[in-house]
Amino acid sequence: MPDQLSRMLGERPWLLADGATGTNLYNMGLAPGTAPDLWCESHPDKVLDLHRRMIAAGADIILTNSFGANASRLRLASAQDRVGPLNRAAARLAREASDGSGRAVIVAGSVGPIGEIMAPMGRLTEAEAAAMFTQQAQALKEGGADLLWVETISAAEEMRAASRAAQAAGLPWCGMMSFESGGRSMMGMTPAQLAALVDRLPCPPVAYGANCGTGPAELLLAVAGFSASGSERPVIAKPNAGVPRYQDGGLVYDATPAVMAEFAVLARDMGVRIIGGCCGTTPEHLAAMRDALVGAPRGPRPTPEHISARIAQAMGPGE
């Protein structure tokens, strides 16, 4: 039987993934420097509230609060022995929100990069990365995640390690890289290279794409490189809500809900199947994106020039 994501993609022209987890939790009181993943145990009510707000805004896919819950990153918080409990708690909270929503909402087990540079440039081997990802993946599955959501990856070796982890855990998965303003990941991968890579992985993802980055326009330009490769695998686009600034004790990103709504429509018209937001994307952004996707008529495939002009116009003068 096909997995839930494949079934929903077969029934719908697009799906809405949720917004930011970490930046929203910081604005809900998470202290700077504290690992957001720890709140799954210390402040589960706030994590659950955020999931419910994302669902109320229209999310079809919610990400667990486990982006940094691998052994390497948790070591920075002296919590490397909490990988299993934290990931299970993260998945259970998202599962509770999903099951109580009254509609089909996919629980995606969020898996971020290990946080170390891969060999040969660094010392982290692909086998070590796969073992850490597998530990996290198995706990997310035990907690009730429907699939793995691997994002903000920059190296091919780390994407292969994530693929092996999904295979070991017996879970479908999605994989995303983050591309810089020059059109390459931090480790030099291009969108076309990612598109070629995913079909060669030992366990290919259900969907792949790009997340984070420097804003909606730049991410859409990177996504355009996927279609040039000829891959027909469903594409994901999940950019940051612009550039952050510190204001009134919290982080505020410069892309308004109207800007993210414009992004969502452009992404849909490009053929992107899963549309969401990364850092800075609030439930208010997400609700505007949902309204635009439902209400705006489908247009022709936008050109790079059209994308830049439309986002700049939405940003307004002086942006």
Percentage of the chain lying above the pLDDT 90 cut: 84
Helix (H, G, I), strand (E, B), or coil: what is residue 81?
A: helix
- The pLDDT value recorded for residue 319 is 43
Domain ranges of the chain: 4-315
- The pLDDT value recorded for residue 144 is 98
277 versus 230: the higher-pLDDT residue is 277
pTM beyond cutoff 0.85: yes
Per-residue pLDDT tens over the stretch 291-303: 999 999 999 999 9
Average pLDDT over residues 76-97: 97
Helix (H, G, I), strand (E, B), or coil: what is residue 166?
A: helix
State both tokens at 167: 């295979």
Per-residue pLDDT tens over the stretch 160-206: 999 999 999 999 999 999 998 888 999 999 999 999 999 999 899 99
261 versus 121: the higher-pLDDT residue is 261
From residue 162, alpha-carbon distances to 25, 45, 156 in Å are: 26, 30, 10
pLDDT band at 6 (very low <50, low <70, confident <90, very high): very high
CA distance 107 to 70: 18
Architecture of the domain whose range is 4-315: Alpha-Beta Barrel (3.20)
Whether the per-residue pLDDT at 124 is higher than 60: the answer is: yes
User: Got the DSSP string for 12-80?
Assistant: -S-EEB---SHHHHHTTTPPTTS-GGGHHHH-HHHHHHHHHHHHHHT-SEEE-S-TT-SHHHHGGGT-G
pLDDT band at 265 (very low <50, low <70, confident <90, very high): very high
